[in-house]
Amino acid sequence: DADVTQTPRNRITKTGKRIMLECSQTKGHDRMYWYRQDPGLGLRLIYYSFDVKDINKGEISDGYSVSRQAQAKFSLSLESAIPNQTALYFCATSPGTGFDTEAFFGQGTRLTVV
Amino acid sequence: GESVGLHLPTLSVQEGDNSIINCAYSNSASDYFIWYKQESGKGPQFIIDIRSNMDKRQGQRVTVLLNKTVKHLSLQIAATQPGDSAVYFCAEKRGFKTIFGAGTRLFVKA
């Protein structure tokens, strides 16, 4: 089984709908992240959480919200989806020790907003 | 598989040759520089990192070079194999933030 699991893997939704992307991890890491990937661009950070009670905005948090339900679970919500939120979304974890350079990514969720 | 970048810089190499993937960075204050590999349909996977006070680090079949004078980072892959075909991202670590570059697509020709 994958250490970082994202559900769903693919989703098509309509403009204005609320949608939740879920992430769970078995690595026992405190730090979790949500990134967005668009064609020709690098990963951009949406939100991050360093423990269950900690939630922080990344560089592109507008239109998104998150919930850290447990150490192992971090979900991303689009309250009212719009077409320019069509992208590949990745959840990641890191141990938070040392310089914490290695992040572990899920397989991604391909979201299409029509 | 997933398309992670339709207009990425590309590098095409012959199987068995060495590959060199380049990256320019902008911030001299970065603590670490990191290379990730992303295969089609998968999430990025950590390859190797290098601390900002080093200029070279070697791993298994990979070497990262850091030239702080010109703010340039490179990843060298020895004896490139078909399984090395992927998109490669460089990233900078500044404090607790990781900033990713746009990526380079590596094609390995058999």
Alpha helices by DSSP H, chain B: none
Please give the residue of chain A at the shortest CA–CA distance from B100.
Answer: A42
Nearest to A42 among B31, B96, B101 (CB): B101
Tell me, yes or no, if A4 comes closer than 8 A to chain B by beta carbon: yes
Q: How far is A18 from chain B (nearest CA, A)?
A: 24
Kindly report, residue by residue over B11-55, the tens digit of the pLDDT. 999 999 999 999 998 888 888 999 999 999 999 999 999 999 999
Report pLDDT for B92.
93
pLDDT band at B1 (very low <50, low <70, confident <90, very high): very low
Residue B8 has pLDDT above 90, yes or no: no
Mutate: best of A34, A37, A57, A109, partner B, most B CBs <10 A: A37
Report pLDDT for B57.
98
The answer to whether B35 and B103 are in contact (CB under 8 A) is no
Mutate: best of B6, B87, B100, partner A, most A CBs <10 A: B100
The answer to whether B3 and A39 are in contact (CB under 8 A) is yes
10 Å CB burial of residue B63 (0-12, 13-18, 19+) is middle
Q: Which residues of B touch A39 (CB under 8 A)?
A: 3-7
